[in-house]
Structure 1
């Protein structure tokens, strides 16, 4: 980034400070995130048992809602399946409820087949969305890098790639996709946008998404969307006949005014909000996937994103920039 060229002189610039204007409400929301009543709702208890099936085969004992509730509790409190089973048994005993609890084997088996309910994003009242897209890596089980460096053994460490789409106005995760570590970022733009209902006003991503496939996918979803992606330093205009496209305009503007002015003019600085969302996921949910199979890992990620959105709805800080006094 351009600001790195002036890193030796940036310590003379005062750091921008913010204060939270709704601290009492935000503090109450932070406490409510750990409340069991937030996760064990009356609706979950009412739909605990599975409806009777009229076709052949064994009758399921627990509904999909019960499996989702159990997996959500394990995700929120960072517990394995056996510990989740013990927590739910103790909670039901304290509540005086005669409700069966799915054992860890049932949770592991049902997690591979459970389908998350479709949670479509609703367009904002004041207009289309400003979508931020980025990806991050999540660790899996296997020998680590220390073993490879210490003993010379080949590391079995594998990664999964989590692709996220975030609403810039409220920080909510509106789409997600889990892939293997070799999947490139531009190929997942279309799967992410297919999960979003409503129009898109602006699509912002980093330079890894630069290229015609990304522009094509965004404009197919919303023909009037503004695509803000920094072109590579070696990028040149396409030279196509007709009016210049958005990418050509970005290249011409950067060549004329520089990248810093281009970032300020296009609102590229809001991309930091998805970095915040990724940090929130790794801090609250974890940097490592607990499930072993890919199907169960997809369910784990889907529940983790739903948990983050629910936590964010409980309490969201309203940060206001402080006025800096010049002496």
Structure 2
């Protein structure tokens, strides 16, 4: 369970052992994540650039469409390339494909066009299947580093970290697809971003879970307005008491929490579904990276959404199916 109910007794509890039931398929999916044709397809190459540009006195039309810029950034973030190295990598791919007429956008153009991509929500949120309904989501946030010295440099030279970070707020479905994401400054509270997250979700929900930082009447009112049929599962804060002014669903959570106890309440409310949000944040930091490369805030927002889109594409390629054996 995400809530550490047995924190004082955890050293007596043996670690659980899991096995995968789809090891072969998941192993193949992990290898497919390194394929270049996932991001540069024939459709993208067909409209890679426009050599016939118009000049009407108000500025020239763009040579590279947004799909080309997106493909370049997907490859950059998947393989963790700097911009110049990304340009050289893509130029070499075009040479091997014998597409001498195509060119890679210059690294300066890639940097300028990032904020103009206009992503409002992560891409690749749906499987290519008829049944794409969202059943449950989990909401959480994590920090992404902007700049600052690493731990070795701080200890060696006795310097101040001068760290700064942004907050990435994610809403993750039970199938591990990131349905909505918002990047904010570090001083923005988690409960202030719930409305922005909900606007990106267009499917009805039946279950919403989050940690106790979201236990406010404003959050319950926002979630109930967007998803009136959803069961909102948020543990109450330690200093919360019953009050008629609270939202009805918040009062129901509060009464059942103290009536059943922590562990029984978590099982009864399926609070363990919140693990998908914790998993998504760990996947982002392990696969994409724990820090942002862009300097401007508008570029950082687009960079984070591109990273979430990459995770969604990887999820569609295949995820492990594990079961507990001990």
Normalising by structure 1, report the TM-score: 0.89
Residue 60 of structure 1 aligns with which residue? 62
- Kept after mapping to 2: 8 A contact 1:120/1:196: no
Distance (Å, rounded) in 2 between the aligned partners of 1:208 and 1:117: 25
**Paired residue secondary structure (2:251):** helix
In the TM superposition, what is the alpha-carbon distance from 1:11 to its structure 2 partner?
A: 4.2
Residue 196 of structure 1 aligns with which residue? 201
Distance (Å, rounded) in 2 between the aligned partners of 1:5 and 1:23: 32
Distance (Å, rounded) in 2 between the aligned partners of 1:126 and 1:75: 27
- Kept after mapping to 1: 8 A contact 2:124/2:309: no
Residue 164 of structure 2 aligns with which residue? 158
Corresponding residue to 2:80 among 78, 85, 94: 78
Normalising by structure 2, report the TM-score: 0.90
**Paired residue secondary structure (2:88):** helix
- Kept after mapping to 2: 8 A contact 1:120/1:195: no
Residue 230 of structure 2 aligns with which residue? 225
**Paired residue secondary structure (1:261):** helix
- In structure 2, relative to structure 1, the CA distance for the partners of 1:128 and 1:70 (3 Å cut) is closer
- In structure 2, relative to structure 1, the CA distance for the partners of 1:36 and 1:156 (3 Å cut) is same
Distance (Å, rounded) in 1 between the aligned partners of 2:125 and 2:318: 19
Mapping 1:263-278, distance limit 5 Å = 263-278=266-281
Residue 300 of structure 2 aligns with which residue? 297
Aligned length: 318
- Kept after mapping to 1: 8 A contact 2:133/2:203: no
Distance (Å, rounded) in 2 between the aligned partners of 1:300 and 1:146: 27
- Kept after mapping to 1: 8 A contact 2:19/2:323: yes
**Paired residue secondary structure (1:165):** strand
- In structure 2, relative to structure 1, the CA distance for the partners of 1:151 and 1:27 (3 Å cut) is closer
Corresponding residue to 1:314 among 299, 313, 317: 317
Residue 130 of structure 1 aligns with which residue? 136
Distance (Å, rounded) in 2 between the aligned partners of 1:131 and 1:295: 26
Residue 89 of structure 2 aligns with which residue? 87
- In structure 2, relative to structure 1, the CA distance for the partners of 1:240 and 1:318 (3 Å cut) is same
In the alignment, structure 2 segments of 5+ residues that lack a partner are: none
**Paired residue secondary structure (2:195):** helix
In the TM superposition, what is the alpha-carbon distance from 1:116 to its structure 2 partner?
A: 2.6
Corresponding residue to 1:208 among 206, 213, 235: 213
**Paired residue secondary structure (2:5):** helix
CA RMSD of superposed structures (Å): 2.5
- In structure 2, relative to structure 1, the CA distance for the partners of 1:27 and 1:143 (3 Å cut) is closer
For each residue in 1:142-178, what CA deviation from the matched residue of structure 2 results, as whole angstroms up to 9, or x when unmatched?
Answer: 456777777776654211000000001x101010000
Distance (Å, rounded) in 1 between the aligned partners of 2:158 and 2:244: 51
In the alignment, structure 1 segments of 5+ residues that lack a partner are: none
- In structure 2, relative to structure 1, the CA distance for the partners of 1:53 and 1:271 (3 Å cut) is farther
